Amino acid sequence: FSKRRCRLDGFTLAFIPLIRVDARFTVEELEGSSVLIEEASLVFDGVRGYCVVRKGDSIGIDETMGSFTELPERAIEALSIVSRRVAVPLGELSAEMNIDMRILKNVIDMLASRGLIDVYGDLIEMKYSSLKMFADPLKAARSEEVLTVKERVPSSISRNASVVLPRVPILKLIRVAEAMNGEVRDIRVIYYPAYIVLCIEDNHIEKVIAIDGLTGDVNEDLAKIIDNYEVIKTVLMKLRPVAVEQCKELSLFRA
């Protein structure tokens, strides 16, 4: 870790919120010859609203898609129409939404960049493969390794660790799932464990490092999720001194 030229200042166990929306989706083929019911879980980070994806043995976020909570109402409306009709010509969509074509094209770009639709010339088509892009952390870990709650975090947990509470509008994520022709069955907040380490670099700039609490490996995406002034301030309130032995266990000294 000395190669990083960073003096370890403290660490704490933190639980990072992920929002899992379980839904039953009606998947229709373009020709309308068959209709499938597919159950899937859409998982978003609970601080910024990014899609949670699988990265190696851990999880990450796909920043290229942008935050799903930042989708405007027009985008959710367009997604709902496309998912209901499977494929819609751009002109028909513009007329149904009573929206200027130039504005609609910006809306379509937002949905396409998040992998929710495909665009073939003037034809907008629902992209049901998007249901598979989300990673469910509960399927990759033993149930006792993550904290899943529907109401409040037990005090026995919050006393000994930094619990980052969700900051995204969960209702917006529910509406996204419904706009994808989904019937929402359950909403859960999954608290993913991570060790947050504060180090001081040579130029006296503080740097926050996140170590996956399940794999023990540095995870830059987990650090990005909590990259928020209020969140960092809350997490660092429970910093404890760092022991060299603990750093070795958490892979901080691995080459």
Closest to 210 in 3D by CA, of 200, 201, 197? 197
Per-residue pLDDT of the chain (255 residues), as tens digits, is 444 566 777 888 999 999 999 999 988 766 556 677 889 999 999 999 999 998 888 899 999 889 999 999 999 999 999 999 989 999 999 999 999 999 999 999 999 999 999 999 999 999 988 888 887 776 755 555 566 666 667 676 777 788 899 999 999 999 999 999 999 999 989 899 999 988 877 666 678 899 998 888 999 999 999 988 889 888 888 877 766 555 555 555 443
Spatial separation of the C-alpha atoms in residues 207 and 95, rounded to whole Å: 51
pTM of this structure: 0.84
Output the pLDDT for position 6: 66
| Phi, psi dihedral angles at 155 (to 5 degrees) | -65, -25
Closest to 88 in 3D by CA, of 126, 127, 121, 124? 124
Output the pLDDT for position 214: 86
Output the pLDDT for position 23: 94
Sign, CA dihedral 107-28-173-213, equals: negative
Contact (Cβ atoms closer than 8 angstroms) between residue 181 and residue 25: yes
Output the pLDDT for position 118: 94
Spatial separation of the C-alpha atoms in residues 114 and 68, rounded to whole Å: 8
Contact (Cβ atoms closer than 8 angstroms) between residue 221 and residue 55: yes
Domain ranges for the chain? 2-249
